[in-house]
Structure 1
Amino acid sequence: MAAGGEPVRLIMSGAVVGQELAAEFGPLPPAMLPVGVQKLYELQLEALGGTRQHLVLPEGYGLTDYDRERLARAGVEVAPIPEGLRLGEAVVYALNSIGAGEGPVHILHGDTLIAEPPLHADDVIVGARRSNEYAWAEIETDASGRITVLVDTRAGEEGREHQPVAAGYFSFSSGVELLRSLTRMRGDFIAGVNHYAAGRPMRALGGGRWLDFGHLQTFFQSRLAVTTARAFNTVRIDGLTARKSSRDEAKIWAEAHWLQEAPPAVQVYCARLLGFGAEAGRSFYETEYEYLPVLSELFVHGALARQPWLRILASCEAFLRTCAQLSGGGSGDAALKALAADKTAARLEAFARETGFDIDAALSLEGRPAPSLRAIAERLVPAYDLQSGAADSVCHGDFCFSNILYDSRVRRIRAIDPRGLVGERPTLYGDVRYDLAKLAHSIVGRYDQIIAGRCRAERRGADFSIAFEPIACQPWLEAALGEMNVRGVRGRSVPVQAVTVSLFLSMIPLHADKPERQMAFIANALRLFLELDSQ
């Protein structure tokens, strides 16, 4: 480390993403792109560590309170800059605005994640081999390994096969000299780096795995590296297929059976099954991997406008209507009783046994009296309308945002991970009220925000509270759900609302590894029940 001490680290995210990514996620600064349940900046901060970190954002970008607090807890200062600046100009503006001084400056492009950046080295550029024909800056070195020049290549050019390219992490021993070089080169970043390197020897180093989120193609490839799966199953993705496996043979076979036997009119909305079997004591099935955004990412972290979201919901409704037209000749009421009433009662009993939580004790939400969990479950049963006489229909069974992908090119959803079970029986069929409730539990219940930690839930004795990060699209998504009509059932009808409450009750024991999440589910079930009960 140079004598300047702890370096100033800039994550340069001062302009919104290009048109292709904006069409998928909305006009976000790259560091704010969704990557699973996190935003990219959270992964970047994990890799960078240290202090004196600054996240450079456009002046017009409105940080949520949750992001502001997370950045503050990590010791990160936000550096707003005017929009429309070139990269070199943005660096100059940011360094001047924070008063960087003479010491070292490290820069990470906002659309880049370097697994192991050389944090303790100065005057280096992380180099990596190109994986596509986007525009990159190739790194040329002399016999001693000193960087002689960065050479811009245009998009579409193959470049030299073995020539490393600048991967998006730069460190400089002198912030003042960097400012001079960028200013002299009139804000041209690559020209400024070349000017700096002519006076201060720089070298190229590796930095572990390089993930680029700056282009549509590379975004989805990079997201593969940070894909996670729940503890009770394993998902292995190789870029061609997604293999889901588990020791729960009944669950895996039921899902595979559903995907295989679903009628063609339904399959066009679903992941394509490629095969299934057993290996090393685990059952598995494989589907074609889709390079598409997940609705939970778009809802929690995206910035899509109203019309794209309405197109997404229109495709969800088309899928549900297609399913509703196909009956297995059974009773929808019987299926809903098994999926909602019976399952919820059994899950609450399991929760009580495993944790000692008194499911017969009266509760409250922010001082508002509420029944016990068992009493809520029992009071929900009449609201399900189990005497409707409705026939069953094809039922996905887990039709929530985290299991729905969206292909904006054809404006069609792709549903993954169907339930395939009613009780212990593998089947394609269930009830439309259950699928609508699963959709509602993402939109109205805001399940995905709980999973992402974008809410605050507290418990003081028997009193619970919960507050969610505001999401601009949520109110009109909820209104659009209310207008949805599938076989005469509205998306905000009383039966659907009642089943939505039951979903949060029944999922409590499934998250035993995260007690704080269980408390959020209880608080949310109370919120939703009291809203329903007040109607």
Structure 2
Amino acid sequence: MSPAELIAMPPEQPDQPLWLILSGAYVGQELAIELGQLPPSMIPVGHSRLYEMQLDAIGPGQRVYLALPAQYQPPIEDLRRLRDRGVQIVQMPEGLTLGEAVVYAFNYIGVSDHPVRILHGDTFVRDIPEAIDTIAVASSSDDYQWADVEVKDGLVTKLHTASAGANGGDRLVATGYFACSSCSLLLRSIVLSHGDFIAGLQEYNRQRPLQASSVEQWLDFGHIQTFFQSRRSASTARAFNDVRIGQHVVRKSSASNAQKIRAETRWLADAPPALLPFCSRVIDSGEGPDGPFYETEYEYMLTLSELYLFGSIGRTGWTRVVNACADFLQTCASLESGAMDNTTLRLLTNNMFGRLERFARETGFDIEAPTALDGSPLPSLLAIAEQVQARIDLETPRPQRAMHGDFCFSNIFYNARARRVRVIDPRGFAEEGVFSHYGDSRYDMAKLAHSAIGQYDLIIGGRYHCERQSPTGFKLEFENTPGRLWLKDAFGEITVQGQRLACDEIQAIMTGLFLSMLPLHSDRPDRQQAFIANALRLFKERS
């Protein structure tokens, strides 16, 4: 189905409750510096976009419209997701006030006197009030230009928008959710108020009193400060670690991965001085009831994974990111331990074969059978692993240089103001049980390549389509954009110690990483299939 067909999807079941998510303009300039030009509902929150959280809160069985700027082209994967959840897009012209946007959207939809529910595109309310003719309100001490609400006996007596800077102390504000029993009365009230949405609500309230419903779980993503605060509140932990996010720190602990936690702690806390500007700062560490732990300062930044999957920054912004990643890798490469070794990559290739065999035992996949990708015949997974190993120099001892060990997009924050990366979750050892800051620079380069070139984050983010055409044959398509295609080449030009990120050896190591991770995702057979297909793609491109 084409993007035009997805956008033009006709509404179904007109008797359902009608929702409008208002996201017909772009985020403000401060947020655009961090994210690029995005409508508010499309901003990243962890491994998804805000609209997905909003739809989860709205719940199934609702008739939902999403207003987006007419000139904005949603990625095809988002169009599919919106279609699958029954959401119809309303394309909005530029330059409308909020009130004018409401009038335009409901006239476009063709609503008469139907009850309607409106949610601002930059707002998330988990406990959405069920009552009609109500406004969701919350207390706030922030000094933004939100609509202040005055209440008596549970009913709204006054709505007004105060200028930013004119407020002091706690205030009761409209959170961005409004439910009205009469759409036609709402539209008439806005028109009578010359397109002013808040004044229109005040006029509506004069004729049909509005309740003020207090909500506890309100997140505002519309301002730079509230965006990062709300993002912190919405953060989730990885499955194999116990991660607790507080107001100021992130606490990471694990009883089952005690060695990993201790190694990460030492790597970050005792990093060479030249690396400290790039490292997340350890606040506390020790042994707790749930195993070893360490606490780092919470980073009010975006990961490269979020920017890559959901951001819209242009070439200038991404060029700065690429340069920042190169700066970190080159700084690491400048720090030598004095030892010569090749343990890191020998362990990688040994793991590759061992994990392939484990994957075969656990799933019954025949790793010795010929494979195919998009109809093209290819060797077996075992034969590909052998050819990958042959492309890697495992004999020449290499100087051991500072190594992060998991330098991929999800472990890299980017500070747009400092134009510097900040890393988390280092490996902390070159071989099992032996702590070290040092290892093989090629491994860090391959980990970065598996995000920037290998499309790892698109698989984790579910932004791909993989079809199993036979027991060992696959078809794979990614949600590619011209920007991502350019970005592959830009990252590929990063050069460390005379070796490019896109060179044959680094690409071989990267392919080996995808083969090695197969049994580690046993809870997601769909991802395992995508990793196989992707390894076939990477091998095919270099054959």
TM-score above 0.5, yes or no: yes
Does structure 1 residue 342 correspond to structure 2 residue 350?
yes
202-211 vs 489-498, which moves further: 202-211
Partner of 2:7: none
Per the TM alignment, residue 396 of structure 1 is displaced from its structure 2 partner at its CA by 0.5
Does structure 1 residue 14 correspond to structure 2 residue 24?
yes
Distance in 1 between residues matched to 2:15 and 2:380, nearest whole Å: 58
Partner of 2:299: 290
Q: Give the 5 Å matches for 1:56-455.
A: 56-118=67-129, 120-142=130-152, 144-159=153-168, 161=170, 163-247=171-255, 248-338=257-347, 340-424=348-432, 425-455=434-464
Distance in 2 between residues matched to 1:145 and 1:37, nearest whole Å: 38
Distance in 1 between residues matched to 2:400 and 2:431, nearest whole Å: 15
Deviations 1:78-135 (A, max 9, x none): 00110110100000000000001101011000000000101x3111000001141111
Distance in 1 between residues matched to 2:15 and 2:352, nearest whole Å: 58
Does structure 1 residue 51 correspond to structure 2 residue 59?
no
Deviations 1:24-81 (A, max 9, x none): 0001000000111101001101111232210000100001221111111111110011
Distance in 2 between residues matched to 1:214 and 1:299, nearest whole Å: 21
Partner of 1:40: 50
Per the TM alignment, residue 15 of structure 1 is displaced from its structure 2 partner at its CA by 0.4
51-60 vs 64-73, which moves further: 64-73
Contact 1:335 1:392 in 2 (8 A): no
Contact 1:245 1:283 in 2 (8 A): yes
Distance in 1 between residues matched to 2:341 and 2:419, nearest whole Å: 30
Per the TM alignment, residue 357 of structure 1 is displaced from its structure 2 partner at its CA by 2.1
SS in 1 for 2:538: helix
Contact 1:5 1:103 in 2 (8 A): no
SS in 1 for 2:89: strand
2:431 counterpart letter in structure 1: G
Distance in 1 between residues matched to 2:435 and 2:385, nearest whole Å: 25
Deviations 1:422-443 (A, max 9, x none): 2312211111111111111111
Contact 2:493 2:501 in 1 (8 A): yes
Per the TM alignment, residue 369 of structure 1 is displaced from its structure 2 partner at its CA by 1.6
SS in 1 for 2:157: strand
Give the CA RMSD over aligned residues.
1.4
SS in 2 for 1:384: coil
Count, aligned residues: 526
Contact 1:57 1:81 in 2 (8 A): yes
Distance in 2 between residues matched to 1:258 and 1:280, nearest whole Å: 22
Distance in 2 between residues matched to 1:104 and 1:160, nearest whole Å: 35
SS in 1 for 2:339: coil
Distance in 1 between residues matched to 2:334 and 2:238, nearest whole Å: 33
Distance in 1 between residues matched to 2:370 and 2:435, nearest whole Å: 37
Distance in 2 between residues matched to 1:423 and 1:388, nearest whole Å: 18
Per the TM alignment, residue 507 of structure 1 is displaced from its structure 2 partner at its CA by 1.1
Q: Give the 5 Å matches for 1:487-506.
A: 487-506=497-516
Contact 1:5 1:104 in 2 (8 A): no
SS in 1 for 2:508: helix
SS in 2 for 1:398: coil
Distance in 1 between residues matched to 2:75 and 2:119, nearest whole Å: 22
Seen in structure 2, the aligned counterparts of structure 1 residues 362 and 454 have a Cα distance that, compared at 3 Å, is: same
SS in 1 for 2:338: coil
Partner of 1:511: 521
364-373 vs 515-524, which moves further: 364-373
Per the TM alignment, residue 483 of structure 1 is displaced from its structure 2 partner at its CA by 1.7
Per the TM alignment, residue 358 of structure 1 is displaced from its structure 2 partner at its CA by 2.1
Distance in 2 between residues matched to 1:234 and 1:370, nearest whole Å: 41
Per the TM alignment, residue 407 of structure 1 is displaced from its structure 2 partner at its CA by 0.6
Distance in 1 between residues matched to 2:302 and 2:448, nearest whole Å: 17
Per the TM alignment, residue 259 of structure 1 is displaced from its structure 2 partner at its CA by 1.0
Per the TM alignment, residue 232 of structure 1 is displaced from its structure 2 partner at its CA by 1.2
Contact 2:279 2:422 in 1 (8 A): yes
Per the TM alignment, residue 233 of structure 1 is displaced from its structure 2 partner at its CA by 0.8
2:261 counterpart letter in structure 1: I
Partner of 1:469: 479
1:28 counterpart letter in structure 2: L
Per the TM alignment, residue 281 of structure 1 is displaced from its structure 2 partner at its CA by 3.9
Distance in 1 between residues matched to 2:250 and 2:366, nearest whole Å: 40
Deviations 1:367-402 (A, max 9, x none): 212222222112111211223443121110100100
> Normalising to structure 1: TM-score of the pair?
0.96
Long gaps (5+) in structure 1: none
Per the TM alignment, residue 319 of structure 1 is displaced from its structure 2 partner at its CA by 0.6
Seen in structure 2, the aligned counterparts of structure 1 residues 158 and 263 have a Cα distance that, compared at 3 Å, is: same
Contact 2:309 2:457 in 1 (8 A): yes
Distance in 1 between residues matched to 2:183 and 2:222, nearest whole Å: 26
Per the TM alignment, residue 160 of structure 1 is displaced from its structure 2 partner at its CA by 5.1
1:246 counterpart letter in structure 2: S
1:8 counterpart letter in structure 2: L
Contact 1:332 1:393 in 2 (8 A): no
> Normalising to structure 2: TM-score of the pair?
0.94
Contact 1:136 1:166 in 2 (8 A): yes
SS in 1 for 2:178: strand
